[in-house]
């Protein structure tokens, strides 16, 4: 056997083997690519969810701070020297406006997402009149809840868990004392 023909046939075998390995690598990548992309997008959605949770917590603090800064209805003040405590009120409209303003500016929302629901002193803010009488030292709490729906993860969990999984309900509580 000629040495030249041996090396040529060995080269052909190695070349065919490399082509076959390139095909293996492509199949392996195709099998793992879906999982890698799913993990990548799940990480992004988790990050967006944690960011939104931080925004919701801060919006609760902003609402509680606004609720703790009572205002005095000047029409009710008869004698400024003897100001009765019922003149001190908190404005539920202002609390709701501040929370809406903050959440609209900073929450990462998708078209299907609703605005956060606001509870003041454990009742929906819409159940309260536009002003509530408060006293200095009273504790006011503002509770926010918001259903977070991720684009991919929620739908995937809905497929795996059935129709019962729709969104993650995030809640935040802000508590402050009236000044």
pLDDT tens track for 77-131: 555 555 555 556 677 888 888 888 888 888 887 766 678 888 887 778 778 777 7
Reading the block at residue 97, the tokens are 């406006």
Q: Which residue has the higher pLDDT, 27 or 161?
A: 27
**pLDDT > 90: what percent of the chain?**
11
Average pLDDT over residues 138-154: 83
CB neighbours (10 Å) of residue 107? 18
CB neighbours (10 Å) of residue 68? 21
- The pLDDT-based confidence of 55 (bands split at 50, 70, 90) is very high
- The pLDDT-based confidence of 178 (bands split at 50, 70, 90) is confident
Closest CA to 170 of 42, 47, 86, 57: 57
How far is residue 49 from each of residues 2, 43, 159, measured CA to CA in Å? 70, 10, 20
The pLDDT value given to residue 117: 85
- The pLDDT-based confidence of 51 (bands split at 50, 70, 90) is very high
- The pLDDT-based confidence of 54 (bands split at 50, 70, 90) is very high
The pLDDT value given to residue 83: 53
Answer positive or negative: Cα dihedral of 98, 102, 105, 108: negative
Q: Which residue has the higher pLDDT, 99 or 168?
A: 99
Q: Which residue has the higher pLDDT, 51 or 129?
A: 51
pLDDT at 27 over 90: no
């Amino acid at each position: 056997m000629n040495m030249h023909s041996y090396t040529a046939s060995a080269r052909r075998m190695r070349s065919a083997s490399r082509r076959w390995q390139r095909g293996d690598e492509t199949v392996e990548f195709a099998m793992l690519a879906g999982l890698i992309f799913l993990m990548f997008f799940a990480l992004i959605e988790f990050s967006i969810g944690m960011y939104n949770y931080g925004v919701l917590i801060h919006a609760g603090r902003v609402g509680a701070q606004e609720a703790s800064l009572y205002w005095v209805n000047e029409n009710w003040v008869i004698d400024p020297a003897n100001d009765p405590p019922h003149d001190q009120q908190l404005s539920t409209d202002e609390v709701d406006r501040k929370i809406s303003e903050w959440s609209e500016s900073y929450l990462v929302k998708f078209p299907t997402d609703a605005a956060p629901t606001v509870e003041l002193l454990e009742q929906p803010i819409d159940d309260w009149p536009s002003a509530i009488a408060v006293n200095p030292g009273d504790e006011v709490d503002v509770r926010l809840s918001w259903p977070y729906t991720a684009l991919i993860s929620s739908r995937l969990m809905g497929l795996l868990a059935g129709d019962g999984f729709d969104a993650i309900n995030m809640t935040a509580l802000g508590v402050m004392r009236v000044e």
